[in-house]
Structure 1
Amino acid sequence: MEKCQAIVQAGSQQVTYEITQATQETALIFIEIYKHRDNLKVRAIGRRFFGGLKPLAESFGVEVEDHASAEVAATMASPAPAAPASVQSPNPAPAPAPVPVNLSKIDLLKRKVTLTLEKKKIEPIKARVAVVFDASGSMYKLYRNGTVQEAFERILAIAAAFDDNGELDVWFFAKDYLRAPSVTARDFENYIARTYTLGSKGGTNNEPPVMEDVIRKYTVEEPNVSIPTYIIFFSDGGVSQKGKITQLITESSTKNLFWQFVGLGQANYGVLQNLDEMPGRYIDNANFFALDDISRIGDEELYDRLLNEFPAWIKEARAKGILA
């Protein structure tokens, strides 16, 4: 088959999604439909599988034993021995009830993080995980339409996959900053709405104070040189304090901190766009990429980009004695 098409009809609205150039695939995921607050949301996935339902099931965290199908086939192919005429065959024992699979949204995303590491041939990572969200006035729409909550859930899955205690540490920043309560996968629903009220800390971008607080938490309040700290920093642009940001990133290059900056939209990201060429650091401890629309990028691509440089930094940090 060269082209497949999925059509979702919701009232008067119709969404059409096509996968082209499909050839040897035996299973396809077109779209994800899930409930968000009181509405249903649709996200294009476009993921293809080879090998039938087994790899598809495993992508959602369902373990399928390789020898199970062979055993079933062998049983079906071999005729059962006939019972002696004088002995009446007993009624077969009822088959055990299937074990229900109850995976939350974070569990499913966590599995995708693990698959990304496996694809990159990276050993399981143990690290502290933090996320910093831009909360300036220009981000208002993304908070209201649920985009920030969605981004939070996708980052929480990384913490669930390899955080040292399963917690995600969260900050918000604009002119001021807010260190929010840490959260686990058990309490992710409506976290953004429950934790941050737009307007209380809104305004313009001011990255240095929140960066200083992140550094303070992991190097002064809760130091641990045996485990890396992975900081995902979302900004929609307007980055202006080049000198101070450069200083903080340079100074923290001797610490067990890795900064993954993510730009939201097409904007001016200033110094963040030149992190790979930033001189004077003990080790390259930061990376940056921009997304036009984070809600339109698939989970696999997002995790692939988020975990592009962090694993290599861990190896170099250990070689240079930053990590014990």
Structure 2
Amino acid sequence: MHGAHVAEGRGAISLSKVRERAPGLVSLYKNAGASLERRGLSGLRAAVYLVLDRSGSMRSYYKDGSVQALADQVLGLSAHLDDDGRVPVVLFSTDIDAVAEIALDDHRGRIDAIVAGLGHMGRTSYHVAMDAVIDHYLDSGSTEPALVVFQTDGGPVSKHAAERYLCKAAELPLFWQFVGFGNTRSNQFDFLRKLDELAVPAARPVDNAGYFHAGTDPRTVPDAELYDRLLAEFPQWLAAARARGIVR
């Protein structure tokens, strides 16, 4: 599996290349570019990961295309940050269900294709997915910062393990952007709000997590707003991580 290593100095994928390879993603690519510019992140090189919750309660979001829509949005963003047109994807429930990738050249229906052969949808173990991303990043040999888009529709089976992994990962150039699907008023998401606010420096050297809620029908969140929210805390983390030498 490729997708996380970016050599120094290699540029983003151009609009004409996106038109040629993934015409359906042109509008997403443009929206993502505008959002990066608003955040002062134009020209940034970064690896992008996508983590997808495959617990039983997620079934309807796979069925109605919400998960595929998020995958397309993340690809549109990654084309600005990475140069290979691929994003590593980790699907998790009780354990890791699959490690795959999505690509500009093959994005249509890709999520359905990945999940088609997978078995029982289990419970929600954040820490196993975090562990898989950390391993993949370290194995890739990349020194670039990484943006991990971590989608879930509820709290984890083990809050202690999730918190421990997040704090441990704060020494690495990884930023975890959690995206909630579901009822905004559900107390299922209290833990994610807590992760977002874990103390610095008492619990972790930098604030390496963000959280936003996409609601019960994530497809209704406008692309421009989604990108602004995905990138809301990334610039502050980047500055703090650079100041501490976590990002070179």
Q: Place the TM-score, normalised by the shorter chain, in its bin.
A: 0.7 to 0.9
Structure (1 or 2) with the greater helix fraction: 2
1:140 maps to: 59
2:158 and 2:190 mapped to 1: Cα distance?
Answer: 9
- Paired residues of 2:28 and 2:223 also in contact (CA < 8 A): yes
1:285 maps to: 208
| Alignment of structure 1 residues 1-324 onto 2, 5 Å | 104-197=23-116, 200-219=119-138, 221-225=139-143, 227-266=144-183, 267=186, 268-279=188-199, 280-292=203-215, 293-324=217-248
Label 1:121 to 1:289 Cα distance change in 2 as closer, same or farther (>3 A).
Answer: same
Secondary structure at 1:196 match in 2: helix
Amino acid at match of 2:110: Y
Structure (1 or 2) with the greater strand fraction: 1
1:195 and 1:211 mapped to 2: Cα distance?
Answer: 19
- Paired residues of 1:174 and 1:203 also in contact (CA < 8 A): yes
1:6-45 Cα deviation digits (max 9, x unpaired): xxxxxxxxxxxxxxxxxxxxxxxxxxxxxxxxxxxxxxxx
- Paired residues of 2:53 and 2:153 also in contact (CA < 8 A): yes
TM-score normalised according to structure 1 size: 0.65
TM-score normalised according to structure 2 size: 0.84
1:10 maps to: none
Q: Which has the bigger relative contact order, CA under 8 A and spacing at least 6?
A: 2
| Larger Cα-atom Rg | 1
- Paired residues of 1:239 and 1:269 also in contact (CA < 8 A): no
Label 1:107 to 1:301 Cα distance change in 2 as closer, same or farther (>3 A).
Answer: same
The share of aligned pairs that are identical, in percent, is: 32
When the two chains are superposed, the root-mean-square deviation of aligned CA atoms in Å is 1.9
Per the TM alignment, residue 115 of structure 1 is displaced from its structure 2 partner at its CA by 0.8
- Paired residues of 2:39 and 2:235 also in contact (CA < 8 A): no
Show structure 2 runs of 5+ residues with no match: 1-14
Show structure 1 runs of 5+ residues with no match: 1-60, 63-100
Secondary structure at 1:126 match in 2: coil
Label 1:316 to 1:238 Cα distance change in 2 as closer, same or farther (>3 A).
Answer: closer
